Amino acid sequence: MENKEPLSPHIQIYRWHISSLVSISHRITGIINIIAITLICLWVSLLFLGENNYEIINLFLSSQIGKFIILALTWSFSFQTLSEIRHLIMDLGYGFELKITKIISLSVIFGSVILTIILYLVGKNFI
């Protein structure tokens, strides 16, 4: 059809706010975590089939890429946990004022990095 009314630009031009950034990251990390947990469950199931399977995956996780994936998943998990707490607070009806939401969102971002480091160090000492 000629002369059809165009759609005005939306996500292409809209500026990101911290709250929208945390919101979309919450979804993305959620999807990543579901896939990761499924894979970890599969790995654990493979242990029943013998030592060989364990060795292969252990070798992979000890490599540079493996370590990066572990670290990334730890962050994704930390972020999701803290962000979920943020959502629980908002479900109770708190934290909607712009200033407070900014503080909470920033705490989620920085908190997730700190939690990642803590979890990594704790995990490293255990293994």
Partner 1 sequence: MVQINLPKNSQVRKGRYFKDKTGSKNLRKVNIYRWDPSSGENPRIDTYEVDMDNCPSKVLDILNKIKNEIDSTIAYRRSCAHGVCGSCAMNMDGKNGLACTTSHKEIDGDIDIYPLPHLKVKKDLIGDLDGLYKQYKSIEPWLKSNSKSETKEIIQSKENREKLDGAYECIMCACCSTSCPSYWWNGDKYLGPAVLLQAYRWIVDSRDEERQARLKKVADELKLYRCHTILNCTSACPKGLNPAKAIAEIKKMLATTNI
- For 18, the enclosing helix (H) or strand (E) is helix 18-46
Nearer to partner 1, 19 or 33 (CB): 19
Nearer to partner 1, 6 or 50 (CB): 6
Report whether 55 contacts 95 (CB < 8 A).
no
Whole-angstrom CA distances from 116 to 31, 34, 47 are: 18, 18, 27
Smallest separation (angstroms) from partner 1 to the CB of 30: 12
Smallest separation (angstroms) from partner 1 to the CB of 22: 9
Smallest separation (angstroms) from partner 1 to the CB of 37: 22
Tell me which residue of 10, 8, 26 sits closest to 18, measured CA to CA.
Answer: 26
Nearer to partner 1, 98 or 122 (CB): 98
Nearer to partner 1, 43 or 87 (CB): 87
Q: Which residues of 53-73 are buried (b: 16+ CB within 10 A; e: fewer)?
A: eeeebeeeeeeeeeeeeeeeb
Residues at the interface with partner 1 (CB under 8 A): 2-15, 17, 19-20, 23-24, 87, 90-93, 96-98, 101
Smallest separation (angstroms) from partner 1 to the CB of 105: 9
